[in-house]
């Protein structure tokens, strides 16, 4: 393109972008100033826990194996949609050991981290006229994926025992009254983001009963379960007797964030619709083959035990520091696991000024309203 003076003018693509991109929210992961020393804005694992030497060995051995760098093992073309068959079988065995169930490998799909699985579930199951119910504070990407389907996202109150089922019942009845179909409940049942709450066993069972009563599915986001003792409570997937639960999980939160290998687990019938909306050619097959060896050699359970000890000590130190230096202006419910603290400020605290002062001192934190789709939530 040239101007009247004959000089080149840079093309502006903004006039050609789609309505969806025009309306999209800003990225969840924003650029941090270079002065940040203590980054509490993102949920990131401790780099000291990464099993780097082990992964180097597994990667070196894997790359020399037949078909290591191919799309799929010869004849296994379902791998492109569902993921490496060997990894799905190893994950099924791991879930059986962990949860005491019987997971069908054909009910597992390998994805690019759990967020990818969440987006596929949203596209496979939600549309205009549906209502999806989320915890009042939750994973922001989940809200974004659900809203992109034109479904109505309904926040539900939470407390120290997780999502409040009395409020969920009220929200479902109100949604029905507005002509919406209650389709999905999205819940981070164990070590919830951002509150750290663990959904009690009683509520888990009652939530499954409500799914039958009101005919909805449950999406259990399970990525933080391994980070603390709250994992003794059975998963919703393991308690499910009527095939209404689909669970997402990932190695990114346990092994290392660069390993963007996650999975969606449920019945084969529940997972199949995801293959119809999936538009990529699968997650990295080389990484998947590495993780087959990682699981088959029994490394994951040992690694989980190690990181639990690390994060337990970090939580102890963080809780003590908050009590010693921030009380009574800040109160919190001490998390039993996970990575997150949900801090409540006293009414006389000027949060914008506190945030600005923290940034001046190289400390980054995320405002609570970033975890909600309710403009009134502060």
User: How does pLDDT run along the chain (378 residues), one tens digit per residue?
Assistant: 555 555 666 888 888 888 877 776 655 555 555 578 888 888 889 999 999 999 999 999 999 988 888 877 766 778 889 999 999 999 999 999 999 889 999 999 999 999 999 999 999 999 999 999 999 999 999 999 999 999 999 999 999 999 999 999 999 999 999 999 999 999 999 999 999 999 999 999 999 999 999 999 999 999 999 998 756 899 999 999 999 999 999 999 999 999 999 999 999 999 999 999 999 989 999 999 999 999 999 999 999 999 999 999 999 999 999 999 999 999 999 999 999 999 999 999 998 898 888 888 899 888 888 898 776 665
Q: How many domains does the chain have?
A: 1
| CA distance linking residue 46 with residue 346, whole number of Å | 31
What per-residue confidence (pLDDT) applies to 21? 76
pLDDT at 209: 99
And the tokens for 359?
Answer: 């940034």
Q: Taking a C-beta distance cutoff of 8 angstroms, is the pair 261, 252 a contact?
A: yes
Entry field: residues in the chain: 378
Distance between first and last Cα of the chain: 47
Instruction: Report pLDDT for 74.
Output: 65
Beta bridge partners of 110: 263
Q: Is 328 inside any structural domain?
A: no
Question: What's the domain range around 278?
Answer: 54-300
CATH of the domain at 93: 3.40.640.10
The H-or-E segment that residue 363 falls in is strand 363-364
186 Cβ contact partners less than 8 Å away, ≥ 6 residues apart:
118, 132, 133, 134, 135, 138, 142, 146, 219, 221
336, part of any domain: no
pLDDT at 230: 59
In degrees rounded to 5, what are phi and psi of residue 291?
-70, -25
Q: Distance between CA 110 and CA 79 in Å, rounded?
A: 9
With respect to residue 366, please indicate whether it lies within any of the assigned structural domains.
no
Q: Is residue 335 part of a domain?
A: no
Beta strand 162-163 pairing with 262-265: unpaired
Full-model pTM: 0.91
CA atoms of 163 and 198, how far apart (whole Å): 9
> Is 160 in contact with 197 (CB distance < 8 Å)?
yes
In a domain, 234, yes or no: yes
Residue 35: the pLDDT is 75
8 Å CB contact between 107 and 265: yes
Residue 245 covered by a domain: yes
Q: 331 in a domain, yes or no?
A: no
- Predicted pLDDT at 297: 98
Q: What is the pLDDT of residue 9?
A: 66
**Is position 35 within any domain?**
no
């Amino acid at each position: 393109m040239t101007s009247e003076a004959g000089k080149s003018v840079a093309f502006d693509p903004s006039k050609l972008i789609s309505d969806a991109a025009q309306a999209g929210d800003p990225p969840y992961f924003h650029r941090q100033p270079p002065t940040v020393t203590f980054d509490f804005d993102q949920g990131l694992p401790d780099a000291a826990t990464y099993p780097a030497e082990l992964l180097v060995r597994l990667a070196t051995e894997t790359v020399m194996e037949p078909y290591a760098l191919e799309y799929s093992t010869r004849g296994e073309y379902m791998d492109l949609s569902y993921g490496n068959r060997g990894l799905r079988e190893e994950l099924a065995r791991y879930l059986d050991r962990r949860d005491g169930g019987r997971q069908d490998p054909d009910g597992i799909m390998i994805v690019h981290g759990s967020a990818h699985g969440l987006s596929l579930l949203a596209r496979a199951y939600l549309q205009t006229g549906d209502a999806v119910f989320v915890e009042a504070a939750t994973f922001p990407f989940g809200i974004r994926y659900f809203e992109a389907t034109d479904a109505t996202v309904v926040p539900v109150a939470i407390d120290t025992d997780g999502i409040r089922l009395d409020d969920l019942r009220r929200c479902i009845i109100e949604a029905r009254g507005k002509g919406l179909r209650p389709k999905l409940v999205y819940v981070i049942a164990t070590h919830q983001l951002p509150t750290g709450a663990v959904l009690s066993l009683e509520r888990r069972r009652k939530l499954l009963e409500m799914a039958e009563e009101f005919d909805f599915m449950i999406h259990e986001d399970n990525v933080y379960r391994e980070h603390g003792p709250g994992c003794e409570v059975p998963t919703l997937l393991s308690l499910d007797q009527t095939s209404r639960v689909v669970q997402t999980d990932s190695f990114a939160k346990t092994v290392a964030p660069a390993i963007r290998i996650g999975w969606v687990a449920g019945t084969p019938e529940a997972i199949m619709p995801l293959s119809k909306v999936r538009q990529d050619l699968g997650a990295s097959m080389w990484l998947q083959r590495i993780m087959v060896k990682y699981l088959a050699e029994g490394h994951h359970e040992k690694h989980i035990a190690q990181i639990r000890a690390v994060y337990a000590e970090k939580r102890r130190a963080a809780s003590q520091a908050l009590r010693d230096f921030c009380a009574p202006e800040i109160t919190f419910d001490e998390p039993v696991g996970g990575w997150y603290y949900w801090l409540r400020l006293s009414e006389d605290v000027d949060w914008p000024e506190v945030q600005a002062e923290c940034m001046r001192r190289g400390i980054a934190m995320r405002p609570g309203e970033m975890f909600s789709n309710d403009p009134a939530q502060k």
